[in-house]
Structure 1
Amino acid sequence: MAVSVSAVVLLGIVVFVLIRGGYVRISHALACALLGFFLASTGAAPTITSAISTVTGWISSI
């Protein structure tokens, strides 16, 4: 749970900086957010969560 909250905060900051810098339009950020929201309700969500957990575990062991 702590990893997913941290990832959401980090990605939120990245998106905010990209929008402020003019690299990403608000409509593009909204489309990405909706994609993530709908992807979370599919059968791919457990696989993605497992992959993220594996990567964060690998990074923390370095």
Structure 2
Amino acid sequence: MLVSMSAVLLLGLLIWFLLRIRYLRLADLLLCGTFGFLLSRTVAAPVVQALLDGVSGFLGGLRF
């Protein structure tokens, strides 16, 4: 759950930034939000969650 909350926060900030530089219009924002809510209710949701968990595990394992 923590990874999905972080992803939601990151994507929200990205959308806010795109709106701020006027690259993303309000209609696009509504479309992206609707797609996200619909995707979370499909069979693809566990696959997307597993992908996010894998990416976060990989990024968490990197040492600089």
Q: TM range, normalised to the smaller chain?
A: over 0.9
- Give the TM-score normalised by structure 2: 0.90
What CA deviation, in whole Å up to 9, does each residue of 1:8-47 have, x standing for no partner? 1111111011011110001101101100100110000001
Match of 2:33 in 1: 33
Question: Following TM superposition, by how much is the alpha carbon of 1:54 offset from its aligned partner in structure 2, in angstroms?
Answer: 0.6
Structure 2: stretches of 5+ with no match in the other structure: none
> For residues 32 and 10 of structure 1, what CA distance do their matches in structure 2 show?
14
Q: Which runs of 4+ in 1 moved over 6 A?
A: none
Match of 2:56 in 1: 56
Identity %: 39
- Give the TM-score normalised by structure 1: 0.93
Match of 2:5 in 1: 5
Letter in 1 for 2:27: S
Structure 1: stretches of 5+ with no match in the other structure: none
SS at match of 2:8: helix
Higher relative contact order (CA 8 A, sep 6+): 2
Match of 1:21 in 2: 21
Letter in 1 for 2:5: V
